[in-house]
Structure 1
């Protein structure tokens, strides 16, 4: 294969408008959560979104990852008995399987703890997620940097 170099002007017609700038229009709201020691369920609402080429809303991979990370962060804070997010929380791994489109602007996400490890300066979680009754399935890892003495026992 011969090498091809394309500049910004040449790339423009090849780019996804959503990925280039449209995702900035997305406005997601976490309306409420139900939490227990095993997991969390959050109800999300999309207040505004970039209108896709077909004119019909669908939950994008970008929006889905944001929702998954947000629900995982809330869960970790509640699980550790924290009243507010203590700083950066890391999501080093997220895997999503997209089984069918989510076309509703209100949808639930359930998160379940698969594994939890407490260390001296952090709590590590492995979680699984169900978006909109199985439309997307995901698993991921979360690291909450917090001193063991700050974690509710």
Structure 2
């Protein structure tokens, strides 16, 4: 962290910072660097949302001229948060349920295949949702975009079958 030259490269390439801006960080230090520094300067209890805002895409580490491993530092903060059980019990239960679901790919594909068309149909007229019960933290401040209607794998299979059907 002490190697940071405050060039702003991580800010300009961070999809979260681009989407929400600097004021959402609630600190002097915005962006990926702020997501690491703020919990270290204040406390993880006060600012545990910041490391969790990261998508772990790794763009900040790719563009950092000082080679600061920001995704690794954010992952370490998330691990400390998990060990200290700073997240609400409901959040921890949800993550455990999600992990169990991801461990069963067929069930996951089946459920997402059922849910996505329903959400797409419900959000078709407006293109987004103003309120969703399980995403109230998001929809309190912004709209939740409606999904297209098919999962990634469904879209991939469809595109693949079209490519095979084309005459060469």
Same fold (TM over 0.5): no
Where on the TM-score scale, by shorter chain, does this alignment land: which range? under 0.3
Bigger helix fraction? 2
TM-score, normalised with respect to structure 1: 0.22
Bigger strand fraction? 1
Give the number of the structure with larger relative contact order, counting CA–CA contacts within 8 Å between residues 6 or more apart.
1
Decide which structure has the larger Cα Rg and report it. Answer: 2
TM-score, normalised with respect to structure 2: 0.20
